[in-house]
Amino acid sequence: MRRDTEIEGVFTTADDAIQGLWALHMYLKAAADIADGREIARNLPQQFFQLTHHWKRFYDTEELVAAIRETGIDFLLCRASLVSLVAISEAALDRMNAHLKALRHCRRVKGNKSLLKWAFGQVKGSQSGSPQMLNRLPETCGDLDNARRLRNCIAHNNGKYNNQYLEGAIDDGWVIIQKESAATCDMGKRSVIQLTTARYEKFSRSHIEFLHILHNTIQGKFFGHRNGYTYADEGKNIEWHRVLVGREDVGL
């Protein structure tokens, strides 16, 4: 039987978007690492920037460059990339769930935690993946839930751990809960979340791997398609212009 094109489209869109996010992250990190700070300052808006449609905000370009360099490009990029990574994944799960609900294959769920619980339930016991991928799947699911909780802290708690990060993990007896080691510090100090590019890449790999397993599982369970989607079988090379801008043509 043929794969469901709607589910496949949701999956490939998310897959491309996550690869594009990785590419942008690595490009910006490399550029920032080799760039001359004074040259960056000269190419920034000078003296002020347009804060709103009506207000201008005065600032010192060299002070901005110094602050970013002292804070660290890894610190800033990784948090922004993680937020985007979780958002892409959440949108994919929401669209898959909505499509399957329309076909009366499942109930409709909302919210990232509920969507993750639903998706974890779909892949539990799945055979759609290599032995290594399937053996690691409970930990991979834990990575996705860890990313969700980190995103919530970044977006809603000024980038600091809170008790909800420690206590709000999905704990169903199958998912292997993942936590950042720094989160075990005295929570009264409201420790700031520190991520590295290597840590972000681990989250990225887990999201892509999970989405591949979920897509193949859904295609087999609900649509009778047993041949899993792989880049080699699909003849899918990386087309960076399409991955980055979502278009087949290079010119914009």
pLDDT tops 50 at residue 139: yes
- Total tally of structural domains belonging to the chain: 1
Q: What is the pLDDT of residues 72-129, one digit of tens each?
A: 999 999 999 999 999 999 999 999 999 999 999 999 999 999 999 999 999 999 999 9
* Average per-residue pLDDT for the chain: 91
pLDDT tops 60 at residue 247: no
Question: 138 vs 3, which has greater pLDDT?
Answer: 138
Q: What is the pLDDT of residues 4-37, one digit of tens each?
A: 999 999 999 999 999 999 999 999 999 999 999 9
* DSSP run (H or E) holding 58: strand 56-58
In a domain, 238, yes or no: no
In a domain, 196, yes or no: yes
pLDDT tops 70 at residue 252: no
CA distance 154 to 176: 22
Report residue 181's pLDDT band, with 50, 70 and 90 as the boundaries.
Answer: confident
The pLDDT of residue 238 is 79
Percent of the chain with pLDDT over 70: 92
Q: What is the pLDDT of residues 66-84, one digit of tens each?
A: 999 999 999 999 999 999 9
The pLDDT of residue 65 is 94
* DSSP run (H or E) holding 155: helix 131-156
Q: What is the pLDDT of residues 143-162, one digit of tens each?
A: 999 999 999 999 999 999 99
The pLDDT of residue 190 is 61
User: In Å, what is the CA distance from 79 to each residue of 4, 24, 56, 116, 248?
Assistant: 34, 14, 27, 21, 30
Show the domain range for 166.
Answer: 5-34+72-233
The pLDDT of residue 207 is 98
Residue 237, CB half-sphere, CA atoms under 13 Å: how many? 3
User: For residues 110 and 21, is the Cβ–Cβ distance under 8 A?
Assistant: no
* Whole-angstrom Cα Rg for the chain: 21
The pLDDT of residue 237 is 73
The pLDDT of residue 157 is 94
Question: 50 vs 183, which has greater pLDDT?
Answer: 50
The pLDDT of residue 251 is 43
Report residue 232's pLDDT band, with 50, 70 and 90 as the boundaries.
Answer: low
The label of the residue with tokens 């206590």 reads 167
Report residue 3's pLDDT band, with 50, 70 and 90 as the boundaries.
Answer: confident
Q: Average pLDDT, stretch 171-200?
A: 84
